[in-house]
Structure 1
Amino acid sequence: MAPSSTDTSVPFIFPNINHLISVKLDGSNYLGWVSQFLPVLRSNDLLSIVDGSKACPSKFLVDSNGQPTLTLDPKFVLWTKKDQYILSWLNATLSEIILPAVFGLNTSKEIWDLLANRFAAQNRSRITHLKRQLQNLQQGNKSCADYIQAAKSCANQLAAVGKPIDDDVFISYIIEGLNTEYTSFITSFSFATQDHSMSFNRNYLAMNSIRKSS
């Protein structure tokens, strides 16, 4: 019989965090640090532990009467192991300047929340900057592909910190920043009734650019 996902005897292997996170949090690079850390948590199904959506299970099993026993719940054991792995990851990616701030914290969520609160102002400032940069982005002398990539970079950075841009809003920003040579496309887009996915419009603009330069 296949082992249960909560069987604590089943080995689980987590990657070496230093191979995945290229920066150590030093107080000036929180956004870059968290944008690298979040995909690691998501890809290992661990984000729910640090964001609190998956609470720690009860420590002991209960009997048929609902009373706690002295037997550890395997779910608690597994959750705790994962939590401590994350905690060790966090500690390993903190600089010597930041590390003392988390001494005495026992769970990954405690550390995650402390860092988020400590750097909240920096995070808000960066988010505001990225949104303004995206809103004011102009194609200028950039190729269509480079212009769209610049917009995508801003959008991806916002998504990495939990502030994704709606597809329709993203497309509208791109349209507004296009050079005047795309007037006919902008007009046709404005009067179009069908849905326009982000990928469709990117491909359409790219093809338009290639055709104009040929």
Structure 2
Amino acid sequence: MGHVDGSLAAPPQIVDGQSNPAYWSWYVRDQYVLTWINLSLSEAVLPNVINKATAFDAWSALATIYASGSPVIIGQLRKSLLRLSRGNETIHEYIHRAKAIYDKMLALGAAVTEQELVVALLDGLDEDYRPFTRNLEARLSEVPLAGA
């Protein structure tokens, strides 16, 4: 956790005019942590940290974004929800992915309703599902998430 929370600060890069091996050891570990952070992020979030030099810088940027309920992140998530498309996923995977986006939006304090989630789910289904989705859309106010 030291690289992420800043409690393990970088040692001096140069000591007595010489390259400091402790710094390079710290740097390699920090870059591993930074890479792990970057690989853990969605494409929507990654641009916010991709140019950060240290794990602490990246983590601090994420903390700032998410602590404030960032309108930018909420907007990106809303776009993801509105552009939802099932593709080759199973229905279960598709609903799970949509619900994850919805949950992230709620966690950030976004004003999003379960009905918006259901509409996005229905809109993202292909033509094979149109008879089913038209029927559901006609009764949309009655459809809970568990029924989608």
The TM-score normalised by the length of structure 1 is: 0.39
Change (3 A) 1:148 1:124: same
Match of 2:84 in 1: 137
- Deviations along 1:69-125, one digit per CA (max 9) or x if unpaired, are xxxxxxxxxxxxxxxxxxxxxxxxxxxxxxxxxxxxxxxxxxxxxxx4xxx7xx221
Secondary structure of the 1:27 match is helix
Q: Does 1:182 align with 2:129?
A: yes
- In 2, the alpha carbon distance for the partners of 1:167 and 1:136 equals 16
Alignment of 1:131-170 (within 5 A): 131-170=78-117
* Percent identity of paired positions between Structure 1 and Structure 2: 18
Q: 1:28 aligns with which of 61, 84, 92?
A: 61
- In 1, the alpha carbon distance for the partners of 2:79 and 2:141 equals 28
Amino acid at match of 1:30: A
Alignment of 1:1-214 (within 5 A): 24=5, 26-30=59-63, 34=67, 116=68, 123-192=70-139, 195-201=142-148
- In 1, the alpha carbon distance for the partners of 2:115 and 2:61 equals 32
Change (3 A) 1:31 1:163: farther
- In 2, the alpha carbon distance for the partners of 1:31 and 1:149 equals 27
Amino acid at match of 2:115: D
The answer as to whether partners of 2:115 and 2:140 remain within 8 angstroms in 1 is: no
* 4+ long deviations beyond 6 Å: none
- Deviations along 1:166-200, one digit per CA (max 9) or x if unpaired, are 11111000000012221111121123376111111
- In 1, the alpha carbon distance for the partners of 2:93 and 2:65 equals 22
The answer as to whether partners of 1:156 and 1:164 remain within 8 angstroms in 2 is: no
Change (3 A) 1:180 1:199: same
- Deviations along 1:18-70, one digit per CA (max 9) or x if unpaired, are 9xxxx747322127864xxxxxxxxxxxxxxxxxxxxxxxxxxxxxxxxxxxx
**Long gaps (5+) in structure 1:** 1-17, 35-115, 202-214
- In 2, the alpha carbon distance for the partners of 1:175 and 1:128 equals 20
Larger radius of gyration: 1
- Greater fraction helix: 2
Amino acid at match of 2:126: N
Deviation at 1:129, TM superposition (A): 0.5
Match of 1:9 in 2: none
